[in-house]
């Protein structure tokens, strides 16, 4: 229910109070409180929401107290400028007095409210007997501050754009100006995996000229799986938008971004949204144009999809981390990641998240006349010949009927699960039902006889 969704939302390193376990490289590590904290908190299990609320209040109190004091000190120096050279350097600023005053005031106002909230929360815990009478506010600060909430740090972007880039200098400026428009609407950062580091100077210059909006990472031809995973490890945004260097986006005014963020916020279990292509199943009858549902809560057009295709794709960062990111076992370094987008889609569903398609944008060619990255002569057959066979075998070993096989019963069940998610949670506006199993919102009807693609004997990794 709601708690589980909350727990998932905050899980990665942020709100461990909620869960009392830590995921390290996929392993669960159970942590116990210090014995003297246990004395104070024994009536409050680690997942108690009040503890998380208190931790957030203590964390933001400390931050605002720091800002308030620094601005008070700075105001003093603006009014009476120092004369010693070290002092001049120490208090040098481009801010004017009215800006510094307003910053001081904003923090003072925030402190007022935070202090009132701490007081009423602690009093209510005391009056209900949830904490012993002898437990002080400082005891609570210390016993709840073992895990901080990075989301509350100042200046956190909401969206991290993540571009996989390889030798396409003509599109660079177009990407930067396109995403700077987005940054005006929703606070963003632009991370770039530069797989051709010989172009490093150009990217370093962009970091300078955009005051750090562009964050280039020099890599030695990693390609997409390792490139996106590396960027996800650095991303600070709640949502990541994965981009390829051959695709620009329309509308250019970035009006697609606010509804996307609103959809993620309204649907905590939504992990991934595709914009390029959607799949409702494998095989014939898979209606690739079935974009005929909407969410009555937001009025956004969207359809839950069995699989979506790169790129662009938007992903909730916490979900991406929790499921392990793209599977780097699918290809060697420097090779492309065909099938990895589908593999990730299925994995997210299996982990309990949802995947959707939203018709919010169109791709436009950033570099007209030049074939896309995986379609260049030097990479075309390498990706679509050599790597595609490996990718599909890999995918089928995990989610299909076995290594090198085809879809099987498991994916048929998942096709039905996605169908039911659409019919139960969204509203349809179709004239012809898009699902191979029909539009009755219950059960698991058999596939019509002409769809034989799931009728494969399971061939397990071993006989055991």
Residues that bind ligand NAG (CB under 6 A): 57, 96, 98-99, 113-114, 117
3-state secondary structure at position 315 = strand
Tokens encoding 262: 């609103």
DSSP string, 114-182: HHHHHHHHHHHHHHTTSS-TT--HHHHHHHHTTS--GGGSTT--SEEEEEEE-S-GGGHHHHHHHHHHH
Q: Cα–Cα distance between 109 and 107 in angstroms, integer?
A: 5
Residue 56 CB, shortest distance to ligand NAG, in Å, is 7
Q: Cα–Cα distance between 208 and 194 in angstroms, integer?
A: 16
Give the nearer residue to ligand NAG in terms of CB position, either 78 or 261: 78
Give the nearer residue to ligand NAG in terms of CB position, either 55 or 354: 55
Give the nearer residue to ligand NAG in terms of CB position, either 103 or 417: 103
Sign of CA dihedral 281, 285, 289, 294: negative
Question: Roughly what angle, to the nearest 10 degrees, separates helices 172-185 and 257-266?
Answer: 50
Give the nearer residue to ligand NAG in terms of CB position, either 141 or 433: 141
Residue 92 CB, shortest distance to ligand NAG, in Å, is 16
Per the listing, tokens 């498991």 go with: 410
CB atoms within 10 A of CB 186: 16
- H or E element in which residue 431 lies: none
Residue 100 CB, shortest distance to ligand NAG, in Å, is 9
Give the nearer residue to ligand NAG in terms of CB position, either 18 or 278: 18
Residue 95 CB, shortest distance to ligand NAG, in Å, is 7
3-state secondary structure at position 55 = helix
Burial string for 396-416 (b: 16+ CB within 10 Å, else e) reads bbebbbbeebbbbebbbebbb
Give the nearer residue to ligand NAG in terms of CB position, either 99 or 208: 99
CB atoms within 10 A of CB 26: 8
Give the nearer residue to ligand NAG in terms of CB position, either 98 or 201: 98
Strand 313-316 relative to strand 188-194, pairing: unpaired
Per this entry, what is the length of the chain?
464
Give the nearer residue to ligand NAG in terms of CB position, either 46 or 114: 114
Give the nearer residue to ligand NAG in terms of CB position, either 98 or 134: 98
Give the nearer residue to ligand NAG in terms of CB position, either 61 or 213: 61
**Which residues have C-beta within 8 Å of that of residue 237, sequence separation ≥ 6?**
156, 157, 158, 159, 160, 188, 189, 317
For residue 105, which of 67, 156, 59 has the smallest C-alpha distance? Answer: 67
Give the nearer residue to ligand NAG in terms of CB position, either 23 or 67: 67
Residue 143's Cβ-side half-sphere holds a number of Cα atoms within 13 Å equal to: 22
Residue 80 CB, shortest distance to ligand NAG, in Å, is 19
Residue 151 CB, shortest distance to ligand NAG, in Å, is 13
Residue 103 CB, shortest distance to ligand NAG, in Å, is 10
Backbone angles phi, psi at 190, to 5 degrees: -125, 100
Question: Which of left, alpha, beta for 463 (phi over 0: left; psi -120 to 50: alpha)?
Answer: beta
């Amino acid at each position: 229910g709601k708690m589980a969704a909350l727990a998932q939302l905050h899980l990665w390193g942020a709100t461990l109070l909620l869960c009392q376990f830590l995921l390290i490289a996929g392993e669960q590590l159970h942590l116990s409180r210090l014995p003297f904290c246990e004395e104070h908190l024994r009536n409050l299990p680690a997942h108690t929401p009040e503890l998380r609320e208190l931790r957030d209040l203590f964390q933001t109190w400390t931050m605002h107290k720091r800002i308030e004091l620094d601005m008070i000190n700075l105001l003093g120096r603006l009014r009476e400028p120092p004369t010693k050279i070290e002092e001049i350097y120490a208090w040098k600023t481009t801010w004017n007095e009215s800006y510094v005053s307003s910053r001081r005031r904003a923090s003072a106002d925030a402190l007022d409210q935070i202090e009132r909230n701490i007081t009423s929360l602690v009093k209510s815990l005391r009056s209900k007997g949830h904490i012993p009478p002898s437990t002080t506010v400082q005891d609570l600060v210390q016993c709840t501050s073992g895990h901080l909430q990075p989301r509350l740090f100042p200046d956190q972007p909401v969206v991290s754009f993540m571009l996989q880039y390889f030798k396409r200098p003509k599109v660079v400026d177009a990407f930067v100006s396109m995403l700077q428009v987005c940054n005006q609407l929703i606070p963003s950062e632009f991370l770039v995996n530069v797989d051709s580091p010989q172009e490093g100077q150009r990217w370093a210059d962009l970091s300078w000229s955009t005051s750090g909006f562009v964050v280039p990472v020099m890599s030695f031809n990693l390609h997409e799986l390792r490139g996106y995973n590396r960027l996800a490890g650095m991303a600070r945004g709640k949502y990541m938008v994965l981009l390829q260097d051959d695709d620009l986006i329309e509308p250019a005014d970035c009006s697609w971004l606010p509804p996307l963020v609103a959809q993620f916020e309204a649907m905590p279990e939504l992990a991934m949204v595709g914009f390029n292509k959607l799949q409702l199943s494998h095989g014939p009858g898979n209606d690739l144009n079935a974009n005929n549902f909407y969410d009555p809560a937001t009025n956004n057009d969207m359809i839950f999809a069995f699989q979506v295709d790169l790129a662009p794709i938007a992903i909730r960062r916490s979900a991406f981390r929790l499921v392990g990111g793209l599977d780097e076992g699918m290809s060697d370094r420097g090779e492309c990641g065909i099938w990895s987008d589908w593999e990730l889609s299925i994995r997210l569903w299996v982990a309990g998240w949802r995947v959707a398609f939203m018709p919010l944008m169109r791709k436009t060619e950033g570099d007209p006349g030049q074939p896309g990255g995986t379609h260049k002569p030097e990479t075309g057959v390498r990706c679509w010949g050599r790597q595609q066979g490996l990718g599909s075998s890999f995918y089928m070993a995990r989610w299909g009927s076995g290594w090198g096989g085809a879809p099987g019963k498991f994916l048929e069940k998942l096709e039905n699960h996605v169908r039911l998610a659409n019919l139960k949670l969204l509203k349809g506006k179709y004239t012809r039902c898009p699902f191979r199993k029909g539009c009755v919102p219950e059960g698991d009807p058999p596939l019509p006889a002409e769809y034989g693609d799931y009728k494969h004997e399971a061939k397990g990794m071993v006989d055991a």
